Chain A
Amino acid sequence: MGEKEASKERIAGKLYYFSRVSALLSVVLMLFPGINPARICGYINKNMSLFTSGIAYSELVSECQRAFTKGWLQESSFRLLFASCLIICIGIVLTGICACMSLGNVKMKKAGNIFGITGGALELIGLIGIVISYCQVAATSKPEKVLPCFQGAGYGIFLVLALTGLTVAIVNQLLLRKITVEEKMEMDSKYKLFLMFLPFLAAAFVFSYLPLWGWRYAFFDYTSGSTLSMDKFVGFKWFTILFQNEATRQDIVRVLRNTLAMSGLGIATSWVAMAFAIFLSEIKCGPVRRFVQTFTTIPNFISWVLVYALALAIFSSDGFISSIMMQMGVWETGENLLMNPEHTWLKMLFWGMWKGVGWSAIIYIAGISGIDQQLYEAATVDGAGRFQKIWHVTVPGLIPTYMVLLLMSVAGILSNGMEQYLVFKNPINANAITVLDLYVYELGIGSGAIPLSTVVGMVKSLVSVALLFMANGISKLIRGESII
């Protein structure tokens, strides 16, 4: 008897793998617009996923208003469609709960199966609802406008997933032994902890891993608003265009030069923060030191837009410098110094430093206070002067920190962000200020060249990851410690 029960439980445990996988797939796939079974006519946005269709009725019917007023479509069939999608979403959630509860003891599994059966049944009802609303839509008087279509593949996938979940739940409900009333629901703490972690993992997946799925746009001929289909597959066309098209190539070369120049200047001057900290600690008057530290850190906490606002207030044609110069009679009219095409790279470096140097110095200030005072005393005894102490005690004490930060900034050489350059950009300095991140933004969002900008972003991401690993390898080699 006991053995038979045990073998049944083993079978049930194996079957649960199917329901867990199908639940996971349902949750993920309902986020993909490509296989949305609810897209039953041309009026439904191609970027709507099953999940969106089930939670936002206004988006579902956003393009249908004209069809409703003309009488081509009945609003009731869309209400039915929305209700069906909502029911499917609820069903998928319930199957998910069933899959989670299957990690518990028998009592919990049996309770979970109830969810599984209900969820599976709801999904089937919803899928039937979609068919009914499709039939209603297909009976329209204007098929050439409404374009009824049935998403066979998506529908099939969800049907199979629903049936899998439902079957496993029913079979397992029968397989598992009867439970007594006194038994309590229990779950191993390792699974409990995992399930508590799961929602956050899901969020990380959706917002950090799922975008990788967007890399496929790099291989298709895609314009915003259309769908991806295999006949638009163009292979590495966009990659070759990047190098063969004269205009694009020139753009890329220019943008790369700007990116590397500005990052390079940043890296070449990264010691300034360390020097700032060292000489600041030479100020022995406490209040002055605190005053300097407090107010040089503030710019780090305002956004680049605000830095630009301050820059305008000081340097624009109606700003501080212009009005002073005009009052002194040096200039006749105000001059917008930000519209000056010269030395753009250096100016950007200056703004970066103005904003960041006080803040970057803090880590070195903390480092200096961590240096053993006895080293200074010993140096004094040996007759070292102020600068000798700085050079032979303080600097060596800070070099390890500096090296880590330097390696990190080398790894991030391609990513200088776009906000600073976007706000300071104007028609006059555009050529010298466009960095890679800004270029991707302008190409993709501004000009709508989605595949090409995806290619650029993709290559950038891959190179950045490679650089990070290289920097890490170097760090391991010379310091014996990794930085990531």
Chain B
Amino acid sequence: MTEKAIEKKKKNKYHKAKHFRRSTGDIIFDVINYTFYIAFTLTCIFPFYYLFINTISDNELVRKGQINFLPVGLNINNYLSLLQAKEVGQAFLVSAGRTLLGTALMVMASAFVGYLVTKQQMWHRKLWYRFLIITMYFNAGLIPWYLNMSMLGLTNTFWAYIIPGIVAPYNIILVKTYIESIPSELEESALIDGASTLVIFWKLIWPLSKPILATIAIFGAVGHWNSFQDSLILMQGAPSLYTLQHRLYLYLNQASNLAAMMNSGTSALSEVLQSSMLNTKVIKYTISMVSIIPILMVYPFMQKYFEKGIMMGAVKG
């Protein structure tokens, strides 16, 4: 490298640096900005972390409130003993079952209906499509919905979780919009080859619309897993069908009732409750973790579908 070239490079570097040199104001702004975002992110992470270290630490230390930042006495006994608790295992199976079955049926129905409503030649297509979409914008209210479900004999049955969710207008709009963006030549050529509607759907549309189907599947699954209101209202007579969220809610309430009693109660009572507190605290933390872990496990896969998912609100019928 010649002297001149080095000189030139130095000069360039200098120019570049000058171009990007930041004012003091900029630096202060950046410091505040970074600090704020990192602090906020930590408040989002910390509760999860705190819960987690308390479930894997020594229960005696947890009871004394000494596990705050780092786990001590690592063990997974809480999880193992929780698996043996019948109520929790049952609730976990109900939640997992409704998530798998409910999501699978919803995705298939949305894909099929989304495809059907793109067919211009359907008898009164527009009317029926509106009939379906309008249901997004009104609802009769909680009590009529509940009475309707009990009239249909769905209360206290597992199917109450599955069947009402199969037809999801939002997702149908999403699929429809997506299918409309697939070049129509593909379908036309399949038609010329003599393929029927069902064959075209299964062999062509289904594979081509996988990205959007993955999106609705993931959001549908999270919705099913988190669902709590339907269990609360429809399963009043069937505790064996409570979802995990519902179980957790009941445990949390028990624990906070205990806490309230302790604050107001006599010392003798407090003593007794203090020892049972150990169990409730650890149990509620562990069940919370069991409910969170599946979400955290699918979360990395979800991220690439975020944008499509949030656009849900922005698409139109």
Chain A residues close to B by CB (< 8 Å): 31-33, 47-49, 51-52, 55-56, 59, 189-194, 196-197, 200-201, 203-204, 206-215, 217, 279-280, 282-283, 288, 291-292, 294-299, 301-306, 308-314, 316-320, 322-324, 326-327, 334, 336, 338-339, 354, 358-359, 362-363, 366, 386, 401, 404-405, 408, 418-419, 423, 426-427, 437, 440-441, 444-445, 450, 453-454, 456-458, 460-461, 464-465, 468, 482-484
Contact = CB atoms under 8 A, between A and B. Distances in A.
A297 B296 CA distance: 11
B259 A318 contact: yes
Contact of B255 (A192, A312, A423): A312
A465 B166 contact: no
B229 A295 contact: no
A214 B166 contact: no
B151 A31 contact: yes
A457 B141 contact: yes
B56 to A, nearest CB: 14
A312 B132 contact: no
A323 B66 contact: yes
Interface centre among B66, B140, B146, B248 (most CB of A within 10 A): B140
B130 to A, nearest CB: 11
Given A302-B226, A309-B51, A457-B142, A363 B314 contact: yes
B141 A317 contact: no
Contact of B47 (A214, A314, A426): A314
B252 A308 contact: yes
Interface string B243-257: 001101100100110
Contacts of A296: 40-41, 44
Contacts of A294: 303
Q: Which 5 A-B pairs have the closest CB atoms?
A: A457-B141, A214-B144, A323-B65, A303-B226, A211-B140
A479 to B, nearest CB: 13
B311 interface: yes
B139 A208 contact: yes
B14 interface: no
Contact of B288 (A214, A309, A456): A309
B45 to A, nearest CB: 5
B contacts with A: majority SS? helix
Given A196-B197, A303-B226, A306-B291, A465 B281 contact: no
Contacts of A59: 153
A464 B147 contact: no
A4 to B, nearest CB: 29
Given A211-B145, A306-B291, A312-B256, A193 B249 contact: no
Contacts of A363: 310-311, 313-314
A322 B65 CA distance: 8
A354 to B, nearest CB: 7
A363 B314 CA distance: 9
B43 interface: yes
Contact of A318 (B51, B135, B153, B281): B281
Given A204-B167, A310-B288, A358 B44 contact: yes
Given A310-B288, A363-B310, A408-B313, A299 B44 contact: yes
B7 interface: no
Contacts of A444: 142-143, 146
B310 A49 contact: no
B26 A386 contact: yes
B197 A192 contact: yes
B38 A200 contact: no
A317 B259 contact: yes
A47 B150 contact: yes
Contact of A359 (B30, B48, B132, B310): B310
A112 B287 CA distance: 55
B281 A305 contact: no
Given A209-B135, A366-B307, A48 B245 contact: no
Given A206-B152, A295-B45, A306 B245 contact: yes
A91 B233 CA distance: 34
A465 B47 contact: no
Given A301-B226, A423-B249, A461-B139, 7 more contacts: A189-B121, A299-B44, A306-B245, A309-B284, A386-B29, A404-B314, A418-B142
B137 A200 contact: no
12 contacts: A213-B148, A283-B33, A295-B45, A305-B228, A305-B245, A306-B288, A323-B64, A339-B260, A354-B44, A386-B26, A444-B146, A458-B144
